[in-house]
Amino acid sequence: MNYRFRRYKRSQTLRESLAETDLSYKHLVYPLFITEGKGVKKEIQSMPGIYKMSPELASEYIDKLQNDGLRHYILFGIPKNKDEVGSSAYDEKGPVPSALRLLKEAYGRSIELYADVCLCEYTSHGHCGILDSDSSVNNDKSLDLYAKAGLVYAQAGADWLAPSNMLDLRVRSLRQALDENGYTDRSILSYSAKYSSSYYGPFRDAAESSPSFGDRKSYQIDIRNRRLALSEVLADGEQGADAVMVKPALAFLDIIQQARQMTNLPLYTYNVSGEYSMVKVAVKAGLFEEKSIVLENLTAMRRAGADMIITYHAEDLVKNQWLKD
């Protein structure tokens, strides 16, 4: 038979009707970097167009964005003070709880707020937990601190708690703490397949969270592994995660696709800082047209199976109405 596939492509109207993958603002989560103080808004050099903001300016910042259809936000804290146990992470007056209270008061249920639950931004050594005498992260002793931070964020108004530390049993520990304290309605988005990736560089600059020694390869996933990542996705679901995540996105589309086939839980992916900054640099150099490359990247993530995408491109998509043509 002589196939004529061009018949399916002959007009924009037909192409739109037959498109298998959709992308809209409802699929996007926008990261916000929250710092202490008032009146603070500082652009992050390694991430053009992304800012560190104090809580009240963050509330003002998202006012138009949420009116235009961007309803999901994940918050990362940048404290003034760091110590060996990351105590600012579970300080009720810290940057993230302060922002959560303001945002919930202003926008209520019209937005969904996610609080990243990790210690790396808050510890003086930049690792994701309490250190033993040999400078390795003590998994089980660190879980109590994560549960403590999660409870503070839940009390402040977080709809979702997003443990990103990749320590064993973190989801079970957090779910138990939430349930025992009456927060059975709060959801957990677990960073289930979080790889030890070079794509995190700009984020670590923004969050001031680079390890002061060593690396995080003893708890994040080796980039060469597939089966381990999928096992961790399944384990997090069994421990009580309401949604799971693959991070980063572009270099791990195969993991997104396979995770989608293995679980019926909502599947998120994180279009991380390095992926974002590479696009910005390439666009500035005249190598790409920004709208087309951003939409191509995000559509690939959706096509692979992601229900939701955490992306720094979200504001550009809303501001320029790239999804309303």
CATH of domain 20-319: 3.20.20.70
Residue 133, pLDDT > 80, answer no
Query: Which tokens belong to 14?
Result: 């037909």
pTM for this entry? 0.94
- What band does 317 get if pLDDT is binned at 50, 70 and 90? very high
Mean pLDDT of the chain: 92
Residue 194's DSSP bridge partners are: 247
Q: Give me the pLDDT at residue 289, please.
A: 97
Q: Give me the pLDDT at residue 83, please.
A: 82
Would you please indicate which residues are annotated as catalytic (active-site) residues? Answer: 194, 247
Helix (H, G, I), strand (E, B) or coil at 137: strand
Each domain of the chain, given as residue ranges in start order, spans 20-319
CA 166, 33, 281, 201 dihedral sign is negative
pLDDT in tens, 10-40: 999 999 999 999 999 999 999 999 999 999 9
- Let me know: does 8 contact 14? Beta carbons within 8 Å: yes
Query: Which tokens belong to 208?
Result: 């001031």
Q: Give me the pLDDT at residue 316, please.
A: 96
φ and ψ at residue 308, rounded to 5 degrees: -135, 150
Q: Give me the pLDDT at residue 87, please.
A: 78
